Amino acid sequence: MIQRVGEAIVLRVWPFQEADLLVSLFTREQGRVKGVARHALRSRRRFGGALEPMTYVRATYAERPKQELVRLDSFEILSSPLSRPVDYERTAALQFVAEVLEELPEGVVDDAVFRLALAVVEEMQVGRVWLPVTYFALWMNRLMGWMPELGHCVVCGLDLRGGTVWYSGTSDGVTCSDDRRNGSVGLSAASVGEAVRIFRGSVGELAKEEWPKGRGVDLRRFAVETLERHLERRLVSARALGRG
């Protein structure tokens, strides 16, 4: 048996055999890990309020060779999303980050992804979730290698800087208007410019700006649809955010 202690983000919790819980974590050193928290419904000493999604914890757990589930021994809360006010939009935004991390391909271990998640959750406040959501979705595409180059048409090579680009939820790259595919959606020049700023700036600095829900709608849609295409599933939390 291998004993481990490390930083992790709680993603999801399910009931599992009487008083036990099945917990999905995204760890800094091993990526996604699933484990059983024995008697978690009875023991507040070992887990307390640390089982809420997107809680940042120091997790103590044990691995057995050839067993998929680890044994979760205890969590120490490092940061909790419940330490600040919560409303529908902030709850949906936190669930969005958790769902994307939960659906990443097996074996993804990336410290940059871990740091990104912590940074955007820190900026998700009541009434101010739309910049962190957009930032997270775009950067996840870049970190996973799924972000298309927005400056040139993938078909003819035309320089698209300063104009509208067109993308399809079923094809790679972006195109000019002449080469757009059936069902393509436009991404405005202003939103392409916002993407460039997001890739050059920190979420903390950009979050100082006013970013209402109506700002960058097409950019957020593009980022979410790109994630869904590569994850090969619809993101339920993204639909919930749209209803907020």
Would you state the pLDDT for residue 110?
A: 92
Laid out side by side, the sheet with 165-167 consists of: 174-175, 165-167, 185-187
Q: Identify the domain containing residue 43 by its residue range.
A: 2-81
Looking at the structure, do residues 236 and 117 belong to the same domain, yes or no? yes
- The DSSP output letter for 146 is -
Cβ–Cβ under 8 Å, residues 160 and 152:
yes
Residue 45 has pLDDT above 70, yes or no: no
Looking at the structure, do residues 90 and 199 belong to the same domain, yes or no? yes
- Residue ending a domain, choose from 59, 81, 103: 81
End-to-end CA distance of the chain: 46
- Residue ending a domain, choose from 29, 60, 81: 81
User: pLDDT digits over 9-28, tens only?
Assistant: 999 999 888 788 999 999 99
Looking at the structure, do residues 55 and 161 belong to the same domain, yes or no? no
Looking at the structure, do residues 103 and 219 belong to the same domain, yes or no? yes
Cβ–Cβ under 8 Å, residues 184 and 175:
yes
Would you state the pLDDT for residue 204?
A: 96
Looking at the structure, do residues 63 and 107 belong to the same domain, yes or no? no
Would you state the pLDDT for residue 66?
A: 81
Q: What is the CATH number of the domain that holds 164?
A: 1.20.1440.120
Residues 6+ apart with CB under 8 A from 30: 4, 6, 109
Would you state the pLDDT for residue 44?
A: 63
Residue 6 binned pLDDT confidence (cut-offs 50, 70, 90): very high
Higher pLDDT, 9 or 171: 9
Looking at the structure, do residues 47 and 154 belong to the same domain, yes or no? no
Using a 10 angstrom Cβ sphere, with 0-12 exposed, 13-18 middle and 19 or more buried, the burial of residue 151 is middle
Looking at the structure, do residues 9 and 22 belong to the same domain, yes or no? yes
Would you state the pLDDT for residue 89?
A: 96
Residue 168 binned pLDDT confidence (cut-offs 50, 70, 90): very high
User: Distance of CA 211 to CAs 9, 133, 208, 217, Å?
Assistant: 26, 11, 9, 11
**Whole-model pTM above 0.85?**
yes
Percent of the chain past pLDDT 70, that is, above it, reads: 98
Residue 40 binned pLDDT confidence (cut-offs 50, 70, 90): confident
Q: What is the CATH number of the domain that holds 39?
A: 2.40.50.140
Residue 36 binned pLDDT confidence (cut-offs 50, 70, 90): very high
Distance (Å, whole) CA 106 – CA 121:
23
Looking at the structure, do residues 135 and 201 belong to the same domain, yes or no? yes
Count of structural domains within the chain: 2
Looking at the structure, do residues 27 and 138 belong to the same domain, yes or no? no
User: pLDDT digits over 98-147, tens only?
Assistant: 999 999 998 899 999 999 999 999 999 999 999 999 999 999 999 999 99
User: pLDDT digits over 74-87, tens only?
Assistant: 999 999 998 999 99
Residue 43 has pLDDT above 80, yes or no: no
Distance (Å, whole) CA 14 – CA 35:
11
User: pLDDT digits over 178-202, tens only?
Assistant: 999 999 999 999 999 999 999 999 9
Looking at the structure, do residues 136 and 110 belong to the same domain, yes or no? yes
Would you state the pLDDT for residue 1?
A: 82
Position of tokens 């104009």? Answer: 163
Q: What is the mean pLDDT of the chain?
A: 93
Residue ranges of E strands in the chain: 2-16, 20-27, 31-37, 56-63, 70-79, 165-167, 174-175, 185-187
Looking at the structure, do residues 193 and 102 belong to the same domain, yes or no? yes
Percent of the chain past pLDDT 90, that is, above it, reads: 82
Looking at the structure, do residues 42 and 155 belong to the same domain, yes or no? no
Strand partners, 61: 4, 72
Residue 41 has pLDDT above 80, yes or no: no
Q: Helix, strand or coil for residue 170?
A: coil
- Residue ending a domain, choose from 56, 81, 106: 81
